[in-house]
Amino acid sequence: MSFMRPETFTTRPTLQGTFGMSATTHWLATGTAQAVLERGGNAFDAATAAAFVLHVVEPHLNGPGGDMTGVFSTAEEPRKPVVLMGQGPAPAGATVQHFRAEGLELVPGSGALAAAVPGAVDAWLLLLRDHGTWELAEVLDFAIRYARDGHPVLARVCSTISVVSRLFREHWPTSADLWMPEGRIPEEGELVRNPALARTLQKLVQAGAGLGEAFAAVPAHTREERIDAARREWSEGFVARAVAESVRTAHRHSSGTDHRGVMTMADMAGFRASYEDAATLEFRGHTIAKTGPWGQGPALLQTLAILAGFDDDRLDPSTELGAHTILEAQKLALADREAYYGDADVPLDYLLSEEYAASRRALITEDASHEFRPGSVPGREPYVPTLRTEYVPPTLSDDDGGSPALGGRAVPGRAGSAAAAAGVGEPTIGEPSLGEFRSGEPARGEPSVASNGETRGDTCHVDVVDRWGNMVSATPSGGWLQSSPAIPELGFCLGTRLQMTWLEPGTPSTLTPGLRPRTTLTPTLVLRDGVAVSALGSPGGDQQDQWQLLYLLRTIVGGYSPQQAIDAPAFHTTSMPGSFWPRTWEPGGAVVEDRLGDDVIAGLERRGHRITRAGDWTLGRLSAVVRDPRTGVLQAAANPRGAQGYAAGR
């Protein structure tokens, strides 16, 4: 069947061709990926080059000190989806006891104490080594040039720096030096440079020539050995040393208090990115491939398993019945995410079984649930967190340390949906308001920056398919410029992924040295008849898979083209504990784009959903590439919201 389509307008065409397609969250990264393809590189060369460019041009959304997850298939093995694991673990010193001794009840949302071991760079270099064809110097040349020679800065980068400028000046002077040269906030379109990051990348390239500090005497005769030399330099050489030294200085965290980080050179040396088998589910003739339950990816699979038992008319996101059914299924899957997911022994086979999905499906009624309802798994006790329902940020005063948007408290009551309505998902400092999002206006990109002096970080995304059939979807994030003090000799800062762990014992995602925090980074690969046909993903924290679900339903069941599915009205639930500090939730909450329609929205409210209208073009950051294995025709589509994402190809 085909779903109803209240709008036939699309913001741009679905691109079609046979040579290669790229789609990312920034046009310069997309252009970089396409340039690599045009010069004979494959999808893995192109995606890696684009990812390092994203570190430079979207520093408010990701950085080398952050994380990434990917899922891909190769032309040689198109039937085998593989997960690229670039999520670093908690350092050895990141114990619950240490955080409690520091007076903390939650892992902070900003500051180096919340840093997991950086995983993104090693993951990209691993992918390049094993599946790319280019030399590291060629791949990094794009990012090095943008960092050294400059690129036109985004308005959102400028506004993010503006909001945290007082924090930088008074508490994070190294960040002020990097992002506010001469004490000035850059202006939109101004050429900005990061020479320290350019030098860092160049030194990684030089390590392959035997000029690095780590194992410099080891000869690197092959391309693979040269890339491995750069990986060693990152984890055991000058980068690791600078990281370990930088965290020794106490600095302000989102808790409103000062702390030192705990990262050491041993932590850096102990991590290597890896490959894993994907978690998969069959849905309407397609195989959906995600990360394992150390990430939130299988929650999308659980949602699809629940929805699979309904007729198609209940799966249309553009109708009241469809939107209600989807929201209720998402609540159930996300409750299980909180109750059972983590870097632990997770009973995923049971959670994805038809029997279990049927039991969850039976809980969906005609009315919206406001309960937190994890399922029952034999022999397991579900973790039920203490649910914080409203975050009250601190007020600024002369004696608060001069830190806008740092500190605050969670109190009982109804949660504000501001951050969720903004369509962003990964706070580093404070909780934004709805002030900047006016009905009918396009979203101005992420992160959200509100008038009360607070900002949220978000994420990037990359999709590439080449003419040979290699396909990759990857979601880099973390290490935002506002996440922790900049490391001056490196040109970037550490991420804050540990905020996704709990400081309570006995949970599936309790902070534990050596274990990965349960990440929200969740790219998707779709297979049909056992062969990869689509790669997609989105920034957005807890919303990533919720928005991807709408895309999958509209394309697989509803017959939408990729661009139609991306442009169509979006929504998501906030009726689950947020994955990020300060870990709030809104019982029964649903955030919708106004384009969903007054009648549909009113119907959802009658059913008991607590609706927040987010404006017409605010939710979703999706991009996608597609390949038809029968004809070789390729497609690509990108998100128009925020006027930043772009697709290219021929």
Is the pLDDT score of 466 beyond 50?
Answer: yes
What's residue 215's pLDDT? 61
Is the pLDDT score of 331 beyond 80?
Answer: yes
Q: Which amino acid belongs to residue 634?
A: L
What's residue 385's pLDDT? 86
Give pLDDT tens digits for 246-257.
999 999 999 999
What's residue 583's pLDDT? 84
How is 113-141 classified by DSSP, letter by letter? Answer: GGPPPP-HHHHHHHHHHHH--S-HHHHHH
Give pLDDT tens digits for 496-511.
999 999 999 989 999 9
The Cα 70–Cα 17 span in angstroms is 24
Structure confidence at residue 221 as a pLDDT band (50, 70, 90) = confident
181 contact partners, CB below 8 Å, separation of at least 6: none
What's residue 387's pLDDT? 76
Least confident of 317-331, 452-466, 525-539: 452-466
Mean pLDDT of 612-621: 95
What's residue 589's pLDDT? 97
The Cα 370–Cα 346 span in angstroms is 26
Is the pLDDT score of 431 beyond 50?
Answer: no
642's tokens: 């925020």
DSSP for residue 346: -
Residues of the chain with pLDDT > 70, as a percent, come to: 87
Distance of CA 83 to the CA centre of its chain: 15
Q: Which residue has the higher pLDDT, 374 or 457?
A: 374
217 contact partners, CB below 8 Å, separation of at least 6: 210
What's residue 272's pLDDT? 98
What's residue 304's pLDDT? 98
What's residue 437's pLDDT? 22
The bridge status of strand 634-638 relative to strand 15-17 is: antiparallel
Mean pLDDT of 395-408: 31
Give pLDDT tens digits for 308-326.
999 999 999 999 999 999 9
Among the listed residues 40, 50, 43, 86, the one whose alpha carbon sits nearest the alpha carbon of residue 67: 86
The Cα 156–Cα 152 span in angstroms is 12
Longest dimension (CA), the chain: 71
Least confident of 23-37, 113-127, 362-376, 580-594: 580-594
432 contact partners, CB below 8 Å, separation of at least 6: 418, 419, 422, 424, 448, 449, 450, 452, 454, 455, 456
The Cα 519–Cα 524 span in angstroms is 14
Question: What value does the mean pLDDT of the chain take?
Answer: 89
Structure confidence at residue 412 as a pLDDT band (50, 70, 90) = very low
Mean pLDDT of 627-634: 97
Mean pLDDT of 122-137: 98
Burial 416-439 (b: 16+ CB within 10 A, else e): bbbbbbbbbbbbbbbbbbbebbee
The Cα 32–Cα 17 span in angstroms is 18
The Cα 524–Cα 362 span in angstroms is 27
